[in-house]
Structure 1
Amino acid sequence: MTPVGILLAAGRGRRFDPSGQRNKLLQPLAGGEPVVVASARSLLAVLPKVIAVVRDDDVATLLRAAGCDVTVCTDADQGMARSLVHAVRHSLPAARSWLIALGDMPHVSEATIRALSDAVARGAAIAAPVAAGRRGNPVAFGHACLDDLLALEGDQGARGVLKLHPVTEVPVDDPGIFADIDQPSVL
């Protein structure tokens, strides 16, 4: 079964702008497309359903227009896990697997998303992209991880779940799995 895409887009991006005046997800990339829209576009090209977790109305408007199912996580300030748990709950009972992507990683290729989706569809508990010997993002989770995903707390996202289940490493030729927009200089 094809995973539901989850796009985490509720963070404050304090490393990008410590003052909080500029939302990094709304910043234009070289071609003019906002960071978060580019991140969503890759998911939407491969996955039939993408749930975007937001806090900002401008981000929500853009992602709805792009085709995402948008949900607001009012307590996202309590850590990334809150947004992730919120999205997984929002996907139930229909979803059986999830591909979790970050709204500030607009350069992940569609081929990578397809490869991760295929690995989970073939039965992998967790599928993580690997390039040059390093794991990157996004990561796909099978139904066996549901209880552990719902139990997440804090600001570590799903990193702890990778220690609880076997991880299928999916080799990719995609520098986008490491490229997040955390500083204005990387736009």
Structure 2
Amino acid sequence: MATGAPEFEAVVLAAGAGRRFGGGKLLAPWAGGALLDGALAAAFAAPVRRVIVVTGADGEQVGAAARAFAVRLGAQDRLLVVHAADHDEGMGASLRRAAAVLPADCAGAFVFLGDMPRVPHGVLESLARAVRAGAPAAAPVFEGQRGHPALIGPALLPQLLTLQGDAGARAILKDLGQRLALVQAPDDGVLFDVDQPGDLSR
């Protein structure tokens, strides 16, 4: 994007301990790589300038996995890994950490979850179009259920700095009502996440 127009950024939340999984969830084997690779692939496929990965538990290993993926993609110059020291608080801490490094000219931030490896890449440009057209935020839906990633528009980005607890971006989106742009997703990858080892084979 060499237009000089404000650009989107992607945030991948990869700080959780994966306690229900038994630990080490984001590094678990998935489709020939690590579970985290699926979320990273979607983030790099989005129309974004940069991908910000927020680590917490297993921070060094998760950061190394993210860097290795970016190198394989030839996109290491588009990756920023940051650590949320207070990650035990929940997703709010990770989003605050990411928001602190978003550039002032950011056109919006995609928020990906590290344990969602099957996000359909085809929905990402549609989310971007909705926010470029003026929606304050956009999210995908499949069979009536809202999924991920959400795209938070520029007017709402300052709210990321105030988030607490584990509600994540939901706390921002819930007040939008009809102003939240809903984009139909082609499959249930916008809903599928991995909580327990058995989910890996679903």
TM-score relative to the length of structure 1: 0.92
Displacement of 1:163 in angstroms is: 2.2
- Counterpart residue type for residue 14 of structure 1: R
User: What is the CA–CA distance in structure 2 between the aligned matches of 1:123 and 1:89, rounded to whole Å?
Assistant: 24
User: What is the CA–CA distance in structure 2 between the aligned matches of 1:78 and 1:43, rounded to whole Å?
Assistant: 24
Which residue does 2:10 correspond to in 1? 5
Q: Which of residues 153, 156, 167 is equivalent to 2:180?
A: 167
User: What is the CA–CA distance in structure 1 between the aligned matches of 2:40 and 2:196, rounded to whole Å?
Assistant: 20
Which residue does 2:167 correspond to in 1? 156
Given that 2:7 and 2:105 are in contact with CA atoms closer than 8 Å, whether structure 1 keeps it comes out as no
Identity of aligned residues (%): 38
Given that 2:10 and 2:43 are in contact with CA atoms closer than 8 Å, whether structure 1 keeps it comes out as yes
Comparing 153-162 and 60-69, the one that deviates more? 60-69
Displacement of 1:110 in angstroms is: 0.9
1:64 corresponds to 2:67: yes
User: What is the CA–CA distance in structure 2 between the aligned matches of 1:94 and 1:7, rounded to whole Å?
Assistant: 19
Aligned length: 182
Q: Which of residues 115, 118, 125 is equivalent to 1:114?
A: 125
Which residue does 2:191 correspond to in 1? 178
After superposition, residues 1-187 of structure 1 pair within 5 angstroms as 1-17=6-22, 22-29=23-30, 31-46=31-46, 47-55=48-56, 56-65=59-68, 66=70, 67=76, 68-165=79-176, 166-187=179-200
User: What is the CA–CA distance in structure 2 between the aligned matches of 1:121 and 1:34, rounded to whole Å?
Assistant: 33
Displacement of 1:155 in angstroms is: 0.9
User: What is the CA–CA distance in structure 2 between the aligned matches of 1:6 and 1:77, rounded to whole Å?
Assistant: 18
**What is the RMSD computed on CA atoms of the aligned residues?**
1.3
Given that 2:120 and 2:185 are in contact with CA atoms closer than 8 Å, whether structure 1 keeps it comes out as no
Displacement of 1:130 in angstroms is: 0.7
Which secondary structure does the structure 1 equivalent of 2:52 belong to? strand
User: What is the CA–CA distance in structure 1 between the aligned matches of 2:129 and 2:100, rounded to whole Å?
Assistant: 23
Displacement of 1:93 in angstroms is: 2.2
Given that 1:5 and 1:50 are in contact with CA atoms closer than 8 Å, whether structure 2 keeps it comes out as yes
TM-score relative to the length of structure 2: 0.85
User: What is the CA–CA distance in structure 1 between the aligned matches of 2:126 and 2:29, rounded to whole Å?
Assistant: 28
Displacement of 1:114 in angstroms is: 2.0
Measured against aligned partners, the alpha-carbon deviations of 1:115-134 in whole angstroms (never above 9, x if no partner) come to: 21222122210101011011
Which secondary structure does the structure 2 equivalent of 1:52 belong to? strand
Displacement of 1:48 in angstroms is: 2.8
Comparing 38-47 and 132-141, the one that deviates more? 38-47
User: What is the CA–CA distance in structure 2 between the aligned matches of 1:79 and 1:133, rounded to whole Å?
Assistant: 27
- Counterpart residue type for residue 63 of structure 1: A
Displacement of 1:173 in angstroms is: 1.3
